[in-house]
A = this chain, B = another copy of it.
Amino acid sequence: MATLKEVAKKAGVSITTVSRVINGSSKVNGETRERVQKAMIQLDYQPNRVAQRLRASSGQSKLLGLIIPDIQNQFYSNIVRGIEDVTYGHDYAVILCNSDENPNKERFYLEVLKSESVDGIILPPIHQFGEEIESIIELGIPIVCVDRKLMRKKVDTVVIGNEKGGYDAVSHLIEQGHKKIAILTSSLQFSSFDERQKGYERALKENGIEIDKRLIKEGDPRSSETARELTDELLSLDSPPSAIFATNNLMTLGVLESVNKHGMQIPDDISIVGFDDLPWAKAISPPLTTIKQPAYEMGQKAAELFFQRVENPSREPEVVIMEPKLIVRESTAKLVNAQVKDTE
Protein backbone atom coordinates (compact mmCIF):
# COMPACT_ATOMS: atom_id res chain seq x y z
CA MET A 1 0.00 0.00 0.00
CA ALA A 2 1.45 3.27 -1.13
CA THR A 3 1.99 6.07 1.35
CA LEU A 4 2.12 9.84 1.13
CA LYS A 5 5.87 9.65 1.15
CA GLU A 6 6.05 7.43 -1.89
CA VAL A 7 3.65 9.60 -3.80
CA ALA A 8 5.65 12.67 -2.85
CA LYS A 9 8.81 11.06 -4.04
CA LYS A 10 7.33 9.98 -7.35
CA ALA A 11 5.87 13.43 -7.95
CA GLY A 12 9.04 15.16 -6.80
CA VAL A 13 7.29 17.23 -4.14
CA SER A 14 7.03 17.23 -0.36
CA ILE A 15 4.48 15.19 1.50
CA THR A 16 2.83 18.40 2.57
CA THR A 17 1.97 19.22 -0.99
CA VAL A 18 0.52 15.79 -1.58
CA SER A 19 -1.57 16.16 1.54
CA ARG A 20 -2.81 19.48 0.24
CA VAL A 21 -3.83 17.98 -3.06
CA ILE A 22 -5.73 15.23 -1.30
CA ASN A 23 -7.56 17.51 1.04
CA GLY A 24 -7.98 20.23 -1.51
CA SER A 25 -7.08 22.68 1.23
CA SER A 26 -4.89 25.61 0.35
CA LYS A 27 -3.86 26.48 -3.16
CA VAL A 28 -1.55 24.28 -5.11
CA ASN A 29 -0.11 25.13 -8.47
CA GLY A 30 -2.19 23.56 -11.23
CA GLU A 31 0.77 21.85 -12.77
CA THR A 32 2.03 20.49 -9.49
CA ARG A 33 -1.43 19.23 -8.66
CA GLU A 34 -1.61 17.32 -11.90
CA ARG A 35 1.76 15.75 -11.32
CA VAL A 36 0.72 14.66 -7.86
CA GLN A 37 -2.58 13.29 -9.03
CA LYS A 38 -0.86 11.30 -11.70
CA ALA A 39 1.50 9.83 -9.14
CA MET A 40 -1.40 8.95 -6.87
CA ILE A 41 -3.12 7.10 -9.66
CA GLN A 42 0.02 5.32 -10.75
CA LEU A 43 0.68 4.11 -7.24
CA ASP A 44 -2.99 3.43 -6.58
CA TYR A 45 -2.70 5.57 -3.51
CA GLN A 46 -5.38 5.41 -0.84
CA PRO A 47 -5.00 7.50 2.29
CA ASN A 48 -4.51 5.48 5.42
CA ARG A 49 -7.62 6.02 7.50
CA VAL A 50 -5.96 4.90 10.67
CA ALA A 51 -3.27 7.51 10.41
CA GLN A 52 -5.81 10.16 9.51
CA ARG A 53 -7.85 9.21 12.50
CA LEU A 54 -4.95 9.31 14.90
CA ARG A 55 -4.05 12.76 13.71
CA ALA A 56 -7.57 14.09 13.42
CA SER A 57 -9.49 15.94 16.05
CA SER A 58 -12.83 14.48 17.02
CA GLY A 59 -15.51 14.68 14.40
CA GLN A 60 -13.19 13.75 11.62
CA SER A 61 -12.39 10.17 12.28
CA LYS A 62 -14.96 8.94 9.76
CA LEU A 63 -15.99 6.13 12.02
CA LEU A 64 -19.33 5.54 13.67
CA GLY A 65 -20.11 3.06 16.43
CA LEU A 66 -23.32 1.06 16.73
CA ILE A 67 -24.32 -0.91 19.78
CA ILE A 68 -27.52 -2.86 19.31
CA PRO A 69 -29.11 -5.62 21.35
CA ASP A 70 -28.96 -8.23 18.62
CA ILE A 71 -28.47 -8.03 14.88
CA GLN A 72 -30.45 -11.25 14.54
CA ASN A 73 -33.56 -9.36 15.52
CA GLN A 74 -34.74 -8.04 12.22
CA PHE A 75 -36.10 -4.87 13.72
CA TYR A 76 -32.55 -3.92 14.59
CA SER A 77 -31.03 -5.11 11.36
CA ASN A 78 -33.47 -2.79 9.60
CA ILE A 79 -32.32 0.10 11.75
CA VAL A 80 -28.70 -0.76 11.10
CA ARG A 81 -29.30 -0.80 7.38
CA GLY A 82 -30.91 2.60 7.51
CA ILE A 83 -27.89 3.94 9.34
CA GLU A 84 -25.43 2.31 7.02
CA ASP A 85 -27.07 3.69 3.92
CA VAL A 86 -26.64 7.20 5.25
CA THR A 87 -23.07 6.74 6.44
CA TYR A 88 -22.15 5.28 3.05
CA GLY A 89 -22.77 8.63 1.46
CA HIS A 90 -20.53 10.33 4.01
CA ASP A 91 -17.59 7.99 3.55
CA TYR A 92 -17.96 6.69 7.08
CA ALA A 93 -17.25 3.19 8.24
CA VAL A 94 -19.44 1.54 10.85
CA ILE A 95 -18.40 -0.65 13.76
CA LEU A 96 -21.12 -3.05 14.82
CA CYS A 97 -21.52 -4.38 18.37
CA ASN A 98 -24.16 -6.67 19.89
CA SER A 99 -24.96 -6.07 23.53
CA ASP A 100 -27.54 -8.82 24.16
CA GLU A 101 -29.16 -6.35 26.56
CA ASN A 102 -26.22 -7.07 28.82
CA PRO A 103 -25.00 -3.92 30.59
CA ASN A 104 -21.52 -5.37 30.90
CA LYS A 105 -21.27 -5.94 27.19
CA GLU A 106 -22.64 -2.48 26.59
CA ARG A 107 -20.00 -1.03 28.88
CA PHE A 108 -17.28 -3.09 27.26
CA TYR A 109 -18.20 -1.95 23.77
CA LEU A 110 -18.57 1.62 24.86
CA GLU A 111 -14.94 1.48 25.98
CA VAL A 112 -13.87 -0.14 22.74
CA LEU A 113 -15.62 2.50 20.70
CA LYS A 114 -14.10 5.30 22.72
CA SER A 115 -10.73 3.72 22.24
CA GLU A 116 -11.41 3.48 18.51
CA SER A 117 -11.93 7.24 18.44
CA VAL A 118 -15.33 6.96 16.84
CA ASP A 119 -16.99 10.22 15.92
CA GLY A 120 -20.19 9.12 17.56
CA ILE A 121 -22.29 6.24 18.81
CA ILE A 122 -25.82 5.24 17.93
CA LEU A 123 -27.61 2.85 20.26
CA PRO A 124 -30.80 1.87 22.00
CA PRO A 125 -29.66 2.32 25.60
CA ILE A 126 -30.21 -0.71 27.79
CA HIS A 127 -30.95 1.42 30.82
CA GLN A 128 -32.93 4.60 30.82
CA PHE A 129 -30.33 5.85 33.28
CA GLY A 130 -27.08 4.62 31.81
CA GLU A 131 -24.21 6.21 33.65
CA GLU A 132 -21.58 5.12 31.20
CA ILE A 133 -23.48 6.63 28.34
CA GLU A 134 -24.00 9.82 30.26
CA SER A 135 -20.29 10.09 30.94
CA ILE A 136 -19.57 9.63 27.27
CA ILE A 137 -21.89 12.46 26.43
CA GLU A 138 -20.00 14.54 28.94
CA LEU A 139 -16.81 13.69 27.08
CA GLY A 140 -18.32 15.37 24.07
CA ILE A 141 -18.75 12.29 21.93
CA PRO A 142 -22.05 12.57 20.06
CA ILE A 143 -24.62 9.98 21.10
CA VAL A 144 -27.85 9.28 19.29
CA CYS A 145 -30.45 7.12 20.99
CA VAL A 146 -32.67 5.11 18.74
CA ASP A 147 -35.74 3.03 19.68
CA ARG A 148 -35.31 3.87 23.37
CA LYS A 149 -34.82 7.06 25.33
CA LEU A 150 -32.38 8.22 27.90
CA MET A 151 -34.09 9.90 30.81
CA ARG A 152 -31.73 12.25 32.58
CA LYS A 153 -29.74 13.62 29.69
CA LYS A 154 -30.83 15.58 26.69
CA VAL A 155 -29.61 13.64 23.68
CA ASP A 156 -30.52 13.33 20.05
CA THR A 157 -33.12 10.63 20.00
CA VAL A 158 -35.30 8.80 17.49
CA VAL A 159 -38.21 6.80 18.83
CA ILE A 160 -41.72 5.96 17.79
CA GLY A 161 -44.87 6.87 19.62
CA ASN A 162 -44.99 3.58 21.47
CA GLU A 163 -47.92 4.49 23.66
CA LYS A 164 -49.93 5.32 20.57
CA GLY A 165 -48.84 2.07 18.96
CA GLY A 166 -50.15 0.07 21.86
CA TYR A 167 -53.30 2.15 21.98
CA ASP A 168 -54.00 1.73 18.27
CA ALA A 169 -53.44 -2.00 18.37
CA VAL A 170 -55.82 -2.55 21.23
CA SER A 171 -58.41 -0.03 20.04
CA HIS A 172 -58.53 -1.89 16.78
CA LEU A 173 -59.15 -5.14 18.58
CA ILE A 174 -61.89 -3.56 20.63
CA GLU A 175 -63.50 -2.26 17.47
CA GLN A 176 -63.55 -5.81 16.15
CA GLY A 177 -65.63 -6.72 19.16
CA HIS A 178 -63.02 -8.09 21.50
CA LYS A 179 -63.22 -7.61 25.23
CA LYS A 180 -60.83 -10.16 26.59
CA ILE A 181 -57.56 -8.93 25.17
CA ALA A 182 -54.23 -10.24 26.37
CA ILE A 183 -50.86 -8.54 26.04
CA LEU A 184 -47.40 -10.08 25.88
CA THR A 185 -44.86 -7.56 26.99
CA SER A 186 -41.32 -7.31 28.26
CA SER A 187 -40.29 -8.37 31.72
CA LEU A 188 -37.37 -5.98 31.48
CA GLN A 189 -37.58 -2.27 31.92
CA PHE A 190 -37.38 -0.72 28.49
CA SER A 191 -39.12 2.55 27.82
CA SER A 192 -40.57 1.21 24.59
CA PHE A 193 -42.36 -1.75 26.13
CA ASP A 194 -43.52 0.24 29.13
CA GLU A 195 -45.20 2.69 26.83
CA ARG A 196 -46.79 0.06 24.64
CA GLN A 197 -48.35 -1.41 27.73
CA LYS A 198 -49.58 2.01 28.83
CA GLY A 199 -51.30 2.35 25.47
CA TYR A 200 -52.90 -1.04 25.98
CA GLU A 201 -54.23 0.02 29.35
CA ARG A 202 -55.50 3.34 28.13
CA ALA A 203 -57.41 1.76 25.26
CA LEU A 204 -59.09 -0.66 27.64
CA LYS A 205 -59.97 2.06 30.13
CA GLU A 206 -61.35 4.42 27.55
CA ASN A 207 -63.65 1.64 26.42
CA GLY A 208 -64.76 0.74 29.88
CA ILE A 209 -63.01 -2.60 29.92
CA GLU A 210 -61.48 -3.57 33.19
CA ILE A 211 -57.83 -4.51 33.25
CA ASP A 212 -57.38 -8.16 34.03
CA LYS A 213 -53.90 -8.89 35.39
CA ARG A 214 -54.13 -12.49 34.29
CA LEU A 215 -54.16 -11.28 30.70
CA ILE A 216 -50.93 -9.34 31.09
CA LYS A 217 -47.93 -11.57 30.55
CA GLU A 218 -44.35 -10.47 30.85
CA GLY A 219 -41.44 -12.30 29.29
CA ASP A 220 -38.06 -11.89 27.71
CA PRO A 221 -38.60 -9.96 24.48
CA ARG A 222 -35.61 -11.66 22.88
CA SER A 223 -37.18 -15.08 23.11
CA SER A 224 -40.07 -16.43 21.09
CA GLU A 225 -39.76 -19.46 23.32
CA THR A 226 -41.03 -17.73 26.44
CA ALA A 227 -43.73 -16.03 24.43
CA ARG A 228 -44.90 -19.44 23.29
CA GLU A 229 -45.06 -20.69 26.86
CA LEU A 230 -46.87 -17.62 28.07
CA THR A 231 -49.37 -18.02 25.28
CA ASP A 232 -49.86 -21.64 26.27
CA GLU A 233 -50.73 -20.34 29.72
CA LEU A 234 -53.13 -17.80 28.33
CA LEU A 235 -54.92 -20.35 26.19
CA SER A 236 -55.41 -22.72 29.07
CA LEU A 237 -57.03 -20.09 31.22
CA ASP A 238 -60.57 -20.76 32.39
CA SER A 239 -61.79 -17.95 30.24
CA PRO A 240 -59.05 -17.43 27.69
CA PRO A 241 -58.60 -14.20 25.73
CA SER A 242 -60.19 -13.82 22.33
CA ALA A 243 -57.31 -11.67 21.13
CA ILE A 244 -53.61 -11.30 21.84
CA PHE A 245 -51.42 -8.29 21.36
CA ALA A 246 -47.75 -9.21 21.07
CA THR A 247 -45.46 -6.26 21.62
CA ASN A 248 -42.54 -7.24 19.41
CA ASN A 249 -41.73 -9.49 16.49
CA LEU A 250 -40.11 -12.33 18.39
CA MET A 251 -42.96 -12.57 20.84
CA THR A 252 -45.40 -12.57 17.94
CA LEU A 253 -43.73 -15.67 16.56
CA GLY A 254 -44.11 -17.42 19.89
CA VAL A 255 -47.79 -16.54 19.98
CA LEU A 256 -48.35 -17.87 16.47
CA GLU A 257 -46.56 -21.08 17.28
CA SER A 258 -48.61 -21.72 20.37
CA VAL A 259 -51.88 -20.88 18.67
CA ASN A 260 -51.12 -23.18 15.75
CA LYS A 261 -50.05 -25.96 18.06
CA HIS A 262 -53.39 -25.70 19.82
CA GLY A 263 -55.07 -26.16 16.46
CA MET A 264 -56.82 -22.85 16.74
CA GLN A 265 -57.82 -20.89 13.67
CA ILE A 266 -56.92 -17.26 13.20
CA PRO A 267 -59.02 -15.14 13.28
CA ASP A 268 -61.98 -17.47 13.86
CA ASP A 269 -60.81 -18.73 17.22
CA ILE A 270 -58.47 -15.97 18.19
CA SER A 271 -57.22 -12.68 16.81
CA ILE A 272 -53.62 -11.56 16.80
CA VAL A 273 -51.91 -8.20 16.49
CA GLY A 274 -48.14 -8.14 16.24
CA PHE A 275 -45.55 -5.42 16.54
CA ASP A 276 -43.01 -4.79 13.75
CA ASP A 277 -44.23 -5.34 10.24
CA LEU A 278 -41.57 -7.72 8.95
CA PRO A 279 -41.62 -9.32 5.51
CA TRP A 280 -43.14 -12.58 6.74
CA ALA A 281 -46.13 -10.81 8.29
CA LYS A 282 -47.93 -10.37 5.02
CA ALA A 283 -46.75 -13.68 3.55
CA ILE A 284 -48.26 -15.94 6.14
CA SER A 285 -51.77 -17.27 6.23
CA PRO A 286 -53.78 -15.46 7.32
CA PRO A 287 -51.75 -12.28 6.87
CA LEU A 288 -50.92 -10.64 10.16
CA THR A 289 -52.24 -7.36 11.48
CA THR A 290 -49.32 -5.43 12.93
CA ILE A 291 -48.13 -2.15 14.26
CA LYS A 292 -45.50 -1.15 11.77
CA GLN A 293 -42.42 0.61 13.00
CA PRO A 294 -40.47 2.49 10.35
CA ALA A 295 -37.24 0.84 11.46
CA TYR A 296 -35.20 1.59 8.38
CA GLU A 297 -36.28 5.21 8.44
CA MET A 298 -35.52 5.43 12.14
CA GLY A 299 -31.98 4.32 11.37
CA GLN A 300 -31.68 6.87 8.62
CA LYS A 301 -32.97 9.62 10.83
CA ALA A 302 -30.62 8.66 13.66
CA ALA A 303 -27.65 8.80 11.30
CA GLU A 304 -28.80 12.17 9.99
CA LEU A 305 -29.02 13.54 13.51
CA PHE A 306 -25.51 12.31 14.09
CA PHE A 307 -24.15 14.09 11.02
CA GLN A 308 -26.00 17.24 11.94
CA ARG A 309 -24.29 17.19 15.29
CA VAL A 310 -20.90 16.65 13.73
CA GLU A 311 -21.48 19.74 11.66
CA ASN A 312 -22.82 21.74 14.53
CA PRO A 313 -21.76 20.38 17.92
CA SER A 314 -23.57 23.07 19.85
CA ARG A 315 -26.99 22.42 18.33
CA GLU A 316 -29.78 21.66 20.81
CA PRO A 317 -30.46 17.93 21.09
CA GLU A 318 -33.50 16.89 19.14
CA VAL A 319 -36.07 14.22 19.92
CA VAL A 320 -37.74 12.83 16.83
CA ILE A 321 -40.90 10.84 17.39
CA MET A 322 -41.97 8.79 14.42
CA GLU A 323 -45.41 7.39 13.77
CA PRO A 324 -46.20 3.75 14.33
CA LYS A 325 -48.80 2.59 11.86
CA LEU A 326 -51.55 0.06 12.24
CA ILE A 327 -51.57 -2.31 9.29
CA VAL A 328 -54.85 -4.18 9.28
CA ARG A 329 -54.80 -7.64 7.80
CA GLU A 330 -56.89 -10.73 8.20
CA SER A 331 -55.53 -11.97 11.49
CA THR A 332 -57.95 -9.55 13.13
CA ALA A 333 -60.83 -9.82 10.69
CA LYS A 334 -64.20 -9.14 12.21
CA LEU A 335 -66.26 -12.27 12.48
CA VAL A 336 -69.41 -10.96 10.84
CA ASN A 337 -70.71 -14.26 9.66
CA ALA A 338 -69.55 -17.59 10.81
CA GLN A 339 -66.63 -17.65 8.48
CA VAL A 340 -64.77 -15.07 6.57
CA LYS A 341 -62.51 -16.76 4.12
CA ASP A 342 -59.51 -15.12 2.71
CA THR A 343 -59.93 -14.45 -0.91
CA GLU A 344 -58.32 -11.53 -2.51
Tell me the A residues contacting B by CB distance below 8 Å.
1, 46-51, 53-54, 61, 66, 70-72, 74, 77-78, 80-81, 84-85, 88, 93-98, 105, 111-117, 139, 224, 250, 253-254, 256-257, 260-261, 263, 266, 278-280, 282-287, 296, 341-344
Question: Is A50 a contact of B46 with CB atoms below 8 Å?
Answer: no
Q: Is the CB of A77 within 8 A of B72?
A: yes
Q: Are B117 and A48 touching (Cβ within 8 A)?
A: yes
User: In the bound complex, do residue B98 and residue A84 qualify as a contact, i.e. CB atoms below 8 Å apart?
Assistant: yes
Q: With a CB–CB cut-off of 8 A, which chain B residues contact A54?
A: 48, 50-51, 54
Q: How many Å from the CB of A84 to the closest CB on chain B? A: 6
- Is the Cβ of B257 less than 8 Å from the Cβ of A282? yes
A296 CA to B98 CA, complexed, in Å: 14
Q: Of the candidates B50, B256, B341, which one forms a contact with A283 in the assembled complex, judged by CB atoms under 8 Å apart?
A: B256
Query: What's the nearest-Cβ distance from chain B to residue A161, in Å?
Result: 24
Q: Give the residues in chain B near A72, CB-CB below 8 Å.
A: 74, 77-78, 81, 296
Copies of this polypeptide in the complex: 2
Determine whether the beta carbon of B71 is less than 8 Å from that of A261. Answer: no
* Complex: A328 Cα to B19 Cα, angstroms: 61
Tell which of B256, B263, B343 touches A284, judged by Cβ atoms closer than 8 Å: B256
In whole angstroms, what is the CA distance A93 to B93 when docked?
12
Smallest Cβ-Cβ distance to A265: which chain B residue: B285
Shortest A278–chain B CB gap in Å is 8
Which chain B residues border A61 with CB–CB below 8 Å?
50
Q: A195 CB to closest chain B CB, in angstroms?
A: 25
A46, B98: Cα distance in complex, Å: 21
Cross-chain contact of A257 among B53, B283, B342 (Cβ < 8 A): B283
How far apart sit A256 and B285, CA to CA, in the bound complex (Å)?
8
Query: Which of B46, B250, B263, B342 is A279 in contact with, Cβ under 8 Å?
Result: B250
A224 & B50 in contact (Cβ 8 Å cutoff): no
Given contacts A96-B84, A280-B253, A285-B284, contact A261 B344 (CB under 8 A): yes
**Interface-central residue, A53, A71, A342, by most chain B CB under 10 Å:** A71
12 residue pairs A–B, Cβ–Cβ below 8 Å: A1-B114, A46-B111, A46-B114, A47-B115, A50-B53, A72-B81, A88-B105, A250-B279, A256-B283, A260-B284, A260-B285, A260-B287
Instruction: Give the distance to chain B from A86, nearest Cβ to Cβ, in Å.
Output: 12
B80 touches A96 (CB 8 A): yes
Inter-subunit contact B93/A283 (CB<8 Å): no
Assembly CA distance A266 to B283 (angstroms): 13
A31 smallest CB distance to B (angstroms):
28
Kindly report which residue of chain B lies nearest to residue A48, judged by CB atoms.
B115
